[in-house]
Amino acid sequence: MAHEPEDPSVQKELPRRTFLRNATLFAGTVAGLGGGLELLSRRPGAAAEGTLPGAVTPAARPLGPYDVKDPITPYAQATSYNNFYEFGIDKADPARMAGSLHTRPWTVRLDGEVRKPQTVDIDTLQSWFPLEDRIYRMRCVEGWSMVMPWLGFPLAALIRRMEPTSKAKYVQFTALYDPKQFPGQRGNVLDWPYVEGLRLDEALHPLAFMAVGLQGRVLPGQNGAPLRLAVPWKYGFKSIKSVVRITLTEKQPHTTWSLAAPDEYGFYANVNPAVDHPRWSQATERRIGDLGRRKTLPFNGYADQVAHLYTGLDLRRNF
Ligand SMILES: Nc1nc2c(c(=O)[nH]1)N[C@H]1C(S)=C(S)[C@@H](COP(=O)(O)O)O[C@H]1N2
Ligand SMILES: [Mo]
Is the CB of residue 58 below 6 angstroms from any atom belonging to ligand 1? no
86 CA to centre of ligand 1 in angstroms = 10
Predicted pLDDT at 57: 54
DSSP annotation of 40 reads H
Predicted pLDDT at 87: 98
Is the CB of residue 126 below 6 angstroms from any atom belonging to ligand 1? no
Predicted pLDDT at 58: 55
Compute the distance between CA of residue 187 and CA of residue 168 in angstroms, rounded to an integer.
34
Q: Give the closest residue to 216 by CA, choosing from 24, 41, 33.
A: 41
CA diameter of the chain: 53
178 CA to centre of ligand 2 in angstroms = 21
Each residue's pLDDT tens digit, 174-194: 999 999 999 999 999 999 999
Predicted pLDDT at 277: 97
> If you take atom 1 of ligand 1, which residue's CA is the nearest one?
241
State the DSSP H helix or E strand holding residue 170, giving kind and residue range, or none if neither.
Answer: strand 170-175
86 in a labelled binding site: yes
Compute the distance between CA of residue 251 and CA of residue 236 in angstroms, rounded to an integer.
23
85 in a labelled binding site: yes
258 in a labelled binding site: no
Compute the distance between CA of residue 135 and CA of residue 67 in angstroms, rounded to an integer.
5
285 in a labelled binding site: no
Best mutation site among 194, 229, 237 for ligand 1 pocket (most ligand atoms within 8 Å of CB): 237
Predicted pLDDT at 297: 98
Predicted pLDDT at 20: 26
Compute the distance between CA of residue 269 and CA of residue 267 in angstroms, rounded to an integer.
6
Q: Would you say 108 and 246 are in contact if contact means Cβ atoms under 8 Å apart?
A: yes
Q: Would you say 92 and 76 are in contact if contact means Cβ atoms under 8 Å apart?
A: no
Ligand 1, atom nearest to 78 Cα? 21
> If you take atom 8 of ligand 1, which residue's CA is the nearest one?
84
- How many CB atoms sit inside 10 A of residue 31's CB? 13
264 in a labelled binding site: no
In DSSP terms, 211 is beta-bridged to 152, 228
271 CA to centre of ligand 1 in angstroms = 15
Contact residues for 105 (Cβ-Cβ < 8 A; gap 6+): 121, 122
In this prediction the pTM is 0.87
Compute the distance between CA of residue 155 and CA of residue 163 in angstroms, rounded to an integer.
13
Is the CB of residue 237 below 6 angstroms from any atom belonging to ligand 1? yes
Is the CB of residue 255 below 6 angstroms from any atom belonging to ligand 1? no
Q: Would you say 227 and 243 are in contact if contact means Cβ atoms under 8 Å apart?
A: yes
Compute the distance between CA of residue 159 and CA of residue 291 in angstroms, rounded to an integer.
40
Report, as ranges of residue numbers, the positions in the chain whose pLDDT lies below 70. Answer: 1, 7-59
Is the CB of residue 194 below 6 angstroms from any atom belonging to ligand 1? yes
Predicted pLDDT at 8: 57
Predicted pLDDT at 301: 98
Compute the distance between CA of residue 37 and CA of residue 52 in angstroms, rounded to an integer.
8
Each residue's pLDDT tens digit, 121-169: 999 999 999 999 999 999 999 999 999 999 999 999 999 999 999 999 9
DSSP annotation of 175 reads E
In CATH terms, the superfamily for domain 8-310 is: Oxidoreductase, molybdopterin-binding domain (3.90.420.10)
